Amino acid sequence: MTQSIENIDEIFRLLKRELEQYRLPIVSRGEGKEIIHTPFTTLISCILSLRTKDEVTELASIRLLKRYNTPEKLIRLPEEKIQSLIYPVGFYKTKAKRIKEISKTIIDDYSGEVPKNFEELLKFKGVGRKTANIVMVYGHKKQGFIPIDVHCHRIPNRLGWIKTKNPEQTENALKKILPEKYWGDFNHLFVLFGKTICVPVSPFCSRCPIQHYCKQIAVTKNR
């Protein structure tokens, strides 16, 4: 029998209301005047965001993608130029190399278009499940995918919805219990929630809008 999450409609309603005051990370922002959002810019921003703070990712994405927003434009840039545009994102030298390689593969093997197939995206060096899922949801606007980062893994476990050990298990478990109408909103809502209220160490339970529905599993300290 398929399990379900009690009060899920109310939980999403409360989270949306609470979190609308915060700015979304650049990878999940559907539109913006800084750069044109396409599957390719989503993919590159997501690569830049790995192990990097949102503010740093955002500025680096704008510096790079405002002018060089297609694989054809990026492939012509020397690697050192990409490095200087994306610095100080984490691992900027490796990421500059990956960005060049990925641009070349997209041109050579996919006619210049980011593939719309999840398994194909996973073949790119430097692209894991989280990035591939993000490209499907926020780049291609496809349904049926749930990108899972550390926040999206931690919070459903705290809430008591699931009991999983890693993001891939969480992705599979959530697909069984989370109504599909919430899959598209899940990532950006839970990332924001995990950065602002249900933070990794000592979450702000006293001002949490869904405290009433939370089992606070493994929460030993809170504010």
The conformation of residue 41, written as its DSSP 8-state character, comes to: H
Exposure of 192 in the CB half-sphere (CA atoms within 13 A): 20
Amino acid at 91: F
Kindly tell me which of 106 and 152 has the beta carbon lying closer to ligand SF4: 152
- Of the two residues 181 and 204, which places its CB atom closer to ligand SF4 in the complex? 204
Query: How many Cα neighbours within 13 Å face the side chain of 61?
Result: 30
The 128-167 contact track toward ligand SF4, x by CB under 6 A, reads: ------------------------------xx--------
Which of residues 56 and 199 has its CB atom nearest to ligand SF4 in the complex? Answer: 199
Closest CB 214 distance from ligand SF4, rounded Å? 3
Q: Total residues at the site for ligand SF4 (CB under 6 A)?
A: 14
Q: Cα–Cα distance between 60 and 203 in angstroms, integer? A: 29
Least distance (Å) between residue 38 CB and ligand SF4: 34
In 10 A of CB 115, how many CB atoms?
22
CA angle 110, 87, 96 (to 5 degrees): 25
| Amino acid in position 96 | A
Q: List Cα–Cα distances, 34 to 29, 190, 192, 221, in angstroms.
A: 11, 24, 21, 40
Please, what is the minimum distance in Å from the beta carbon of residue 54 to ligand SF4?
20
d(CA 26, CA 58): 6
- Of 202-221, binders to ligand SF4 (CB under 6 A) are 203-205, 208, 210-211, 214, 216, 219
User: Interface residues for ligand SF4 in 93-132 (CB under 6 A)?
Assistant: none
CB 219 to ligand SF4: min, Å:
5
Residue 56 or residue 205: which is nearer to ligand SF4 going by CB?
205
Q: Which residues bind ligand SF4 (CB under 6 A)?
A: 158-159, 197-198, 203-205, 208, 210-211, 214, 216, 219, 222
